[in-house]
Amino acid sequence: MELWFTEKQTKNYGITAKIKETLHTETTPYQELAMIDTIEWGKMLVLDGCVMTTDRDEFIYHEMISHIALSAHPNPKKVLVVGGGDGGVIREVLKHPSVEKAVLAEIDDRVIEVSKEYLPQIAVALGDSRAVVEVGDGIAHVKEHPGEYDVIIVDSTDPIGPAVGLFAKSFYESIYEGLKEDGIFVAQSESPFFNGELIHNVQADVRSLFPITKLYLASIPTYPSGLWSFTIGSKKYDPRVIADESRSASLVTKYYTKDLHRSAFTLPRFVEDLLS
Ligand code: AG3
């Protein structure tokens, strides 16, 4: 019998993948969690019916949410990742030799545990001596650590359920306070096709707080519409400019390159139009 998984990305549209095996399902205190093995994308972490990451295309998202902000910062030492319990962002952050401490603030420890079990190549760095895993509310963590971070990365789920607060202007205010005077913040900000209004609002909120606000894109096949956006707010450094060319050139990556860093900020007109 053929079994298929479908994420309904909108009310009227979805992506579907043939299942090799359902490895794990559970209801955590926060969400429905599933780990399925698919033929085309390998193992897939699914939260509340939404694809979070897959073996085959995870590198794109994890590299692009991490290396733009970290490469724009001349000396990132302390980094906070809010969400991202699978550990993929921590793995990329720790590729920067200047990073002394990378804190993961994830609310749902089941995401961490299930990822460690089934996605070891993504969760690999959670055991690194520079990684600190804190199970708890990322919003509270940011508020409790003013002026502490060089870079804050928000690796959230969609703006429904447990992640709603991670798209609120009050959270961006706390992030601004949580950063050092030259800090940079980046958040995943969904699909320009399906979430144009959200992108517009997030940009406007971040722009009202940070002197430099930009949007950049990456192609992520298993996410809604395949085109994904990231919103970046910076207190001092232009995020389009690579601070240390040799550090960025020596990163071992599969998607990110120095040229791609710069080109990711070149937007199609319909996306540029979302920003005004
Ligand atoms: N976080 C962003 C995933 C959003 C995807 N949305 C969807 N499939 N509807 C991914 C976490 C990876 N560390």
Which amino acid, 38?
A: T
Same-domain pairing of 137 and 271: yes
What is the domain extent for residue 159? Answer: 58-275
Per-residue pLDDT of the chain (276 residues; tens, 9 = 90+): 899 999 999 999 999 999 999 999 999 999 999 999 999 999 999 999 999 999 999 999 999 999 999 999 999 999 999 999 999 999 999 999 999 999 999 999 999 999 999 999 999 999 999 999 999 999 999 999 999 999 999 999 999 888 899 999 999 999 999 999 999 999 999 999 999 999 999 999 999 999 999 999 999 999 999 999 999 999 999 999 999 999 999 999 999 999 999 999 999 999 999 998
Last residue of a domain, one of 39, 54, 69: 54
Separation of CA 246 and ligand 1 centre (Å): 31
- Set 155, 158, 238, 259: catalytic member: 155
**Where residue 10 sits, what CATH number does that domain have?**
2.30.140.10
Angstrom distance (rounded) from CA 163 to CA 197: 17
**Where residue 192 sits, what CATH number does that domain have?**
3.40.50.150
Pocket test for ligand 1, best of 50, 56, 186 (most atoms within 8 A of CB): 50
Please work out whether the CB of residue 87 comes within 6 Å of at least one atom of ligand 1.
no
Same-domain pairing of 108 and 20: no
Please work out whether the CB of residue 205 comes within 6 Å of at least one atom of ligand 1.
no
**Ligand 1 atom with minimal separation from the 222 CA:** 8
Structural contact between residues 85 and 115, judged by C-beta atoms closer than 8 angstroms: yes
Same-domain pairing of 69 and 46: no
The residue whose CA is least distant from atom 2 of ligand 1 is 157
Alpha carbon 78 to its chain centroid, in Å, reads: 17
Angstrom distance (rounded) from CA 15 to CA 51: 10
Same-domain pairing of 207 and 112: yes
Angstrom distance (rounded) from CA 256 to CA 64: 7
Last residue of a domain, one of 23, 38, 54: 54
Say which DSSP state 124 is in.
G
**128 a catalytic residue:** no
Into how many domains does the chain fold? 2
The SS3 of residue 250 is coil
Structural contact between residues 258 and 265, judged by C-beta atoms closer than 8 angstroms: no
Same-domain pairing of 108 and 173: yes
Separation of CA 57 and ligand 1 centre (Å): 12
Alpha carbon 274 to its chain centroid, in Å, reads: 21
**Ligand 1 atom with minimal separation from the 86 CA:** 13
